[in-house]
Structure 1
Amino acid sequence: MKHYSLFSSSALQTTVAWASIVFIGSIFPLNVVFSQELKPNSPAGNKPKTPPKKQDKPQDKPADEQIVIQGDILGENSKKALRYYAGSRSVISSDTLRNGGIRSLDDALQHVPSVKIFDETGTGALPQIMVRGLYESRSGRVQLLQDGIPLSLAPYGQTSVSLFPVTLDMIDRIDIVRGGAAVQYGPNNVGGVINLVSRPIPKKWETTFGDRLQVAQNGNVIFNNFVSTGGHVTDDFALQLDTNFQNGDTFRNGHNKVDTKNFRLRGQYDIDDDTRIRAEIQHYTLNIDLPGSLTPNDYKQDPYQTTRPLDNVVGHTVRGNLVVQHDFGELGPFEGGQFTWTGFASTTYRNYKVGMRTNANETWLSNLPPELLQQAPRDYQVFGAQPQLTLRAHSGDVSHEITMGARATFEDIGFIVNRTQLQTNVVSLIQNRHFTDKAWATFISDKIGLLDETLTLTPGFRFEHLDSSFYDRMNGQKTGNGIRNILPGVTASYKIGKTGMVFFDAQRSLRAPQVTQIIYGNNLNSELAWNYETGGRYFPDKNTTLGLTFYRIDFNNQITLDNTSRTYVNLGSTRNQGIELSAEWQLPAVPDLSFKATYAFLDAKQLNGQYSGKRTPYTSKHQITGDIRYKLDRSTEFDINGYYFSNAYSDAANTRQENAIASVGRLPSYVVFNAQASHVFYEQNNGATVRGSFSILNFANEHYYFRGIDTSPWGRETAPGRTFIMGVQATL
């Protein structure tokens, strides 16, 4: 068995070579990949929109809009598509990201019903995302994608995003599907799927410069610089280079440096009218200090101080992906369809450094200086490929859209822990372990349209096959584990005239045992859950949309980390159920004034064991969000928004009283308000613009805190206070 050294040069060279071949291949015609017998023959019926012929392309159509995977459960995200989507779904638009008083991508998600964020840095570099009460450190229980490609360090073995290579300025919109999405997006999708959609490559070449200045109330400054240049080189070939730099001091006093660099090169080539490819290669680096949590007394003295002088995260990743797509016409009984092949690869290194005491029980006590520096470097290599085929058929008032595919994934993970005695500089190796995951999955679904698609049923299933191996390099121990699971699912929707729809869905999801769970000594089974949703939307006119969703998640085997003992424990069966309400409307008399509001109720309980009937940790029963936006004219826009979360517990026992080390205790409720003014200073018909914005986030300066965040599991983790953001963007 071959074992890779931590961040081995051969591993990096392999991924860089793969990604380079992927990108270079996008420049040359690949017609030979497809059979000449699959030429389109003018298919009839209700064929979904496919990319237009070249002579019919609108000149202002973004190039990226041509890469649309037919049969994808996310589908379009137009206003009409969202209204008729068979499930609970939200889209944070480009306009909201630019003009809505948004600090970062995770900050934007706080305005989505049933999504809660634990923001420790105010930078978006280390997101902590909870969806419908499902939480694990570093967003371990949500499926995060960028343009459909998994963002987790390892989709099976390490679902967290302790290195998050996505920055706000590179994203056009965020598509959030809450609830199960197990058939096409497995594994780890119980809480839903969040797809970060990149800005499209423009038809005409353009260059954008952007700068944002983020100033905390204590005067600390973070600089955010963004440069993007790209467009069509020819009618068929487009390129875009994006760069984003973030550096400065976060909102805490002392030990607060942040430095991120993000480079991305994308290409797209239309081989012919029916065949197109997209390729991407990215390099991202991170170096950020972690001021950490505080004892209750330290928090009362100064909630923004730091008593953790050594905690830090460094990391870097190289990622590449390729999407090849071909549309075809009549094929036997089918009127047309599409074949898509997606390949992705990444090599990632990250290292969390933590100051510790020789006696671990003293580690997070602020009155004692650190005696050890613990480092946990990890090396991840991931390779994956997914072919997918969509076939369409139509007969009378019945239609079929059959989607089938498979995915193969290989993961190689190196895990080292060492500790350095600060007085003697003696280094001790604590752990040296190697993990390998070999997984493949198949899926199939059939979107059946009845009564001229008034009624739509989509049954399907996914089969997951995973073989994992574990090798302890220190003692030679070898173990293995196999997982075989069928994940069925069904969705149904019914259109009520032109003003409403109702839906129902039920899906089974899983998450494989994680590397960190094995490291802590517990060989736990997979987490399995059934996810149910039912609800509807009412849209009496183009300016009003009302939504109501009831959901329930039944977990057979939920796993959580006990902060005090620092071990993973099995909560057993849990049940998360709730209600989500949403409303969007504009006043007919004042069309430039718009309102959005949501309310989410969550009842998350443990169902067996010592704490049966008690709430699951970190869950808030109530969430309220609101947004008011007013467009003064074509150039000026104002936005005021806010969100409220009720209190939560930080342990399975639902301990109310905070203990001396603050590892348990009830977390308080909080409400945050934000405001932004945006103005276009210069605009030309050729697309040249100069825009500016000024935001005040948390303008009431609400003081609140979290608990149980990764390297600071005890204490109060301070949330960002009042923050000022000034931004300017010029497009040439």
Structure 2
Amino acid sequence: MKRRNAPLALCALGGASALLLAETLAADSNRLPSVDIIGSNEDTFSLSGSAHVLSNEDLEKKEYTDVHRMLRDVPGVYVQEEEGYGLRPNIGIRGTGTNRSDRITVMEDGIPIAPAPYAAPAAYYFPSAGRFHGVEVLKGPDTLRYGPFTVGGALNVLSTPIPTDEAGMVQLEAGEDRHQRGHVWYGASEGQWGFLLETHQQRSDGFKDVDRSNRDTGFDKQDYVAKLRWTSPDTADVKQAVELKLSHSSEVSNHSYLGLTDRDFSDDANRRYGLSAFDQMDNDHDGVALRHHLVLGSDTSLETALYRNKFQRNWFKVASAGGQSIGDLIEDANNGDANAQAILDGDQDVADVRLKNNNREYTSEGIQTELSHGFEWGSVRHDLVAGVRFHQDEVDRYQPIEVFEQQNGSLVRSGYIEPTGGDNRVEEADAFSAWMVDHIRLDQLLLTASLRYEDVDSEAKRYADPGRNVVSQRVDNQVDELMAGLGATWLLDDHWALLAGVHQGFAPPGASAAEGTDPEKSVNYEAGVRYWSGPFSADAIAFFSDYENTVNNCSVAAPCPNGDTIGSQSFGESQVQGLELGLNSRLWQGNGLTAPVRLAYTYTDGEITETADDLSVQDGDVLPYLPENQLSLTLGLERPAQWGAYLTTTYVDEVCVDNTCDRSNGPAFRSTDDYLVVDLAASYYLRSNVEVYAKVDNLFDDQEIVARSPDGARPNSPRTAYMGVRVGF
């Protein structure tokens, strides 16, 4: 496999690489530019493409700590719930698929944060949503600037910025199921220096009960962030700024893939079978990012960054019993097999119960450099950015199996299996990316012309022995792709704009893909209208994605249609089309009161358009976990700076959990329920800097089947109440 260690080392020694940063400050400033990729909600009006921003004010109104709930406010974004807390989000954009967010570009402060986006795209790590300062979602041609996944779009979460003056915040929260949350930050800027220290800690006992066990089903997660910034003095000949960000998080959560049979779900949605009593996720994440901003002229700047993320996890969970996978056991019980049901209930003894240590170590590191230059050519304004990135990532899987017997409803350890083959493998990828984007303004016409090039070399090795002395299988693959995009926005007047765009989409196939496996490729179109007038904004955007090659990464969480849980499978051709509607406004204002409203609606239709050679995927099959209709409506009543109350109603259609569920002869138990959930949040300011709040998630306690993959029916979280206080200083 072609290696790129030399360029990485050279750039690292130079201490610089580029970060995809918004051009929000003039080039003659020596301050670091903002780490957002869009800016404010006002900035979306003139973008040649679809974009949405959840500001810090938006997030504080609802006090969500689950990114799934946050993203319901953004049209064109799909989320798949799993354990009820959003610990391992499943996010898709415009039909990309939601499994572990493995088909979208996920960033924090503009830097890729997936544990191994090229080698193993499934993002089992995600920052704690409770500490987010903002969330941005970008779609359309501009996404070619933020790869590698350019089919649907990019998600950028913003961390707390270093304050311009001395400032801080303390937030404490408590709730049902022994929920506790603390969020504290303090920072200051003085002269050329600035700093920030932050921690976010959250725990809960969970809302499920494990049969015959006193172990809770909750989690304990801790985040720490430190930032240090230096800027050159205003009198310096060379204007520049440097910022170092260090982060660490740890999580222990007693969560499982094991769900319920439909009959047991209807009896008690919050039950968990005793076979999953020992299931537990234990992970740690460490990240470092060094950013540099250098002014080269009045309209020219170089923005650089060096980043490295290390993620270690062991998800110890039940995989099989009596030689049968847990998913098959659930399916048999659903179909009336009394023995299978007795095993799940703990009423029947069974040997060879296997719990796998899904033990993995991820490393992701890279360097980027991006040059920004603005110039006038005649009457046309150009803002040109060009950048390159060298990136390496790796996942090391060493996954031994512990064997138990179920005796009288209890698990008794009986053996240990050393890992070989698929449970003992290393996957790695080297990637080179280059991009060029030109934002062109000609009177009322805004154009975005973009190019992106991706070159990815990947390698996977499986070992025949635990000591890794013998390689049993080696696969290499190489993909490269040049993508282009063109977007246009026509500003009709100060309030109305028309937009349209087309761009080519790309997603790498993962390092376990066999030699010759093509990347996912598509051509994506969008067209719509946008309106902005003071507090009122609205947009309606139609989209269409034509996939030349649809690729599914196979995993235990989302097995491929051919049954594989390792590697990838190509679906061939498919199409996704839909409509996004977004609205922000005020229903009423008077007597010091305001009634805000926010609406996000998405209609989607997606299907396979080509039958696979092995017939596991057929023309007309649906795309999994893709709801036809989803809607989020927030109604509020507030007296600014004194109090506010917000009622959020979310509706999501039922979805198919695999491609076969809509076939006339397809198997049963292959779709989720549609569901409607109402959340309520209210806050009151005791003083200008002291706010107390209360919230109730799932106000009417409606629990439905929101997931079935991989091992049975699982619910959304039940009604849960919280109270908290936030003090700023």
TM-score higher than 0.5 here? yes
Q: Which residue of 2 aligns with 1:88?
A: 50
Bigger shift: residues 554-563 or 149-158: 554-563
Q: Which residue of 2 aligns with 1:37?
A: none
Q: Which residue of 2 aligns with 1:618?
A: 625
Q: Which residue of 1 aligns with 2:307?
A: 344
- 1:40-439 to 2 correspondences below 5 Å: 49-50=25-26, 66-68=32-34, 74-77=37-40, 79-100=41-62, 102-164=64-126, 166-179=127-140, 181-215=142-176, 220-232=177-189, 234-254=190-210, 255-273=216-234, 274-291=239-256, 292-307=258-273, 308-329=276-297, 336-355=299-318, 356-362=320-326, 364-365=329-330, 367-368=342-343, 371-422=353-404, 423-430=413-420, 431-439=423-431
Q: Partners of 2:342 and 2:74 in 1: how far apart?
A: 40
Q: In structure 1, what residue type is equivalent to 2:188?
A: G
Shift of 1:555: 1.4
Shift of 1:362: 4.8
Change (3 A) 1:507 1:708: farther
Q: Partners of 1:550 and 1:258 in 2: how far apart?
A: 40
Q: Which residue of 2 aligns with 1:472?
A: 462
Matched residue of 1:652: which SS? Answer: coil
Q: Does 2:506 correspond to 1:510?
A: yes
Q: Which residue of 2 aligns with 1:43?
A: none
Q: In structure 2, what residue type is equivalent to 1:690?
A: V
Q: Partners of 1:659 and 1:555 in 2: how far apart?
A: 25
Q: Which residue of 2 aligns with 1:704?
A: 704
Contact 1:181/1:193, CA 8 A, preserved across alignment: no
Shift of 1:178: 3.0
Q: Which residue of 2 aligns with 1:41?
A: none
What TM-score, normalized by structure 2, do the two folds share? 0.84
Contact 1:179/1:192, CA 8 A, preserved across alignment: yes
Matched residue of 2:69: which SS? Answer: helix
Shift of 1:564: 8.6
Change (3 A) 1:211 1:189: farther
Change (3 A) 1:530 1:367: farther
Alignment identity in percent? Answer: 20
Q: Which residue of 2 aligns with 1:40?
A: none
Change (3 A) 1:657 1:269: farther
Shift of 1:243: 0.9
Q: In structure 2, what residue type is equivalent to 1:295?
A: T
Change (3 A) 1:84 1:670: same
Matched residue of 2:264: which SS? Answer: helix
Q: Partners of 1:361 and 1:172 in 2: how far apart?
A: 42
Residues 37-84 of structure 1 show CA distances to partners (whole Å, capped at 9, x for unaligned) of: xxxxxxxxxx97427868xxxxxxxx8xx4237xx8x3422x331222
Shift of 1:311: 2.4
Q: Which residue of 2 aligns with 1:549?
A: 541
Shift of 1:322: 1.0
Contact 1:636/1:678, CA 8 A, preserved across alignment: yes
Q: In structure 2, what residue type is equivalent to 1:262?
A: D
Q: Partners of 1:52 and 1:339 in 2: how far apart?
A: 11
Change (3 A) 1:265 1:49: closer
- 1:18-37 to 2 correspondences below 5 Å: none
Q: Does 2:595 correspond to 1:630?
A: no
Q: In structure 1, what residue type is equivalent to 2:110?
A: G
Change (3 A) 1:376 1:206: same
Q: Which residue of 2 aligns with 1:597?
A: 599
Q: Partners of 2:640 and 2:151 in 1: how far apart?
A: 43
Shift of 1:119: 2.4
Change (3 A) 1:53 1:472: closer
Q: Which residue of 2 aligns with 1:57?
A: none
Equivalent pairs, count: 657
Q: Partners of 1:53 and 1:448 in 2: how far apart?
A: 23
Q: In structure 1, what residue type is equivalent to 2:192?
A: D
Note the residue ranges of structure 2 that are not aligned, 5 or more in a row: 18-22, 211-215, 331-340, 344-349, 405-412, 465-469, 553-558
Q: Partners of 1:589 and 1:680 in 2: how far apart?
A: 20
Q: Partners of 1:179 and 1:704 in 2: how far apart?
A: 34
Q: Partners of 1:656 and 1:642 in 2: how far apart?
A: 32
Residues 605-658 of structure 1 show CA distances to partners (whole Å, capped at 9, x for unaligned) of: 111115312321111111122111221352111111111111221221224899
Question: Residue 432 of structure 2: which of 440, 443, 456 is its match?
Answer: 440
Matched residue of 2:99: which SS? Answer: coil
Contact 1:182/1:487, CA 8 A, preserved across alignment: no
Q: Which residue of 2 aligns with 1:527?
A: 520
What TM-score, normalized by structure 1, do the two folds share? 0.84
Q: Which residue of 2 aligns with 1:728?
A: 725
Q: Which residue of 2 aligns with 1:9?
A: none
Contact 2:386/2:436, CA 8 A, preserved across alignment: yes
Q: Which residue of 1 aligns with 2:651?
A: 644
Residues 369-412 of structure 1 show CA distances to partners (whole Å, capped at 9, x for unaligned) of: 67111112111122200010011111442111111110000123
Q: Partners of 1:375 and 1:589 in 2: how far apart?
A: 57
Shift of 1:114: 2.3
Q: Partners of 1:262 and 1:589 in 2: how far apart?
A: 40
Contact 1:187/1:509, CA 8 A, preserved across alignment: no
Q: Which residue of 2 aligns with 1:716?
A: 713
What is the root-mean-square deviation of aligned Cα atoms in Å?
2.9
Q: Partners of 1:123 and 1:323 in 2: how far apart?
A: 32
Q: Partners of 1:83 and 1:182 in 2: how far apart?
A: 17
Note the residue ranges of structure 1 that are not aligned, 5 or more in a row: 4-13, 34-46, 55-62, 331-335, 684-688
Matched residue of 2:100: which SS? Answer: coil
Q: In structure 2, what residue type is equivalent to 1:719?
A: N
Q: Partners of 1:405 and 1:666 in 2: how far apart?
A: 44
Shift of 1:136: 4.0
Q: Partners of 1:362 and 1:244 in 2: how far apart?
A: 35
Q: In structure 2, what residue type is equivalent to 1:408?
A: F
Shift of 1:465: 1.0
Change (3 A) 1:642 1:564: farther
Question: Residue 538 of structure 1: which of 524, 531, 544 is its match?
Answer: 531
Contact 1:159/1:188, CA 8 A, preserved across alignment: no
Q: Which residue of 1 aligns with 2:560?
A: 562
Shift of 1:659: 9.3
Matched residue of 1:420: which SS? Answer: strand
Shift of 1:325: 0.5
Q: Partners of 1:658 and 1:718 in 2: how far apart?
A: 27
Matched residue of 1:134: which SS? Answer: coil
Q: Which residue of 1 aligns with 2:683?
A: 678
Change (3 A) 1:99 1:136: closer
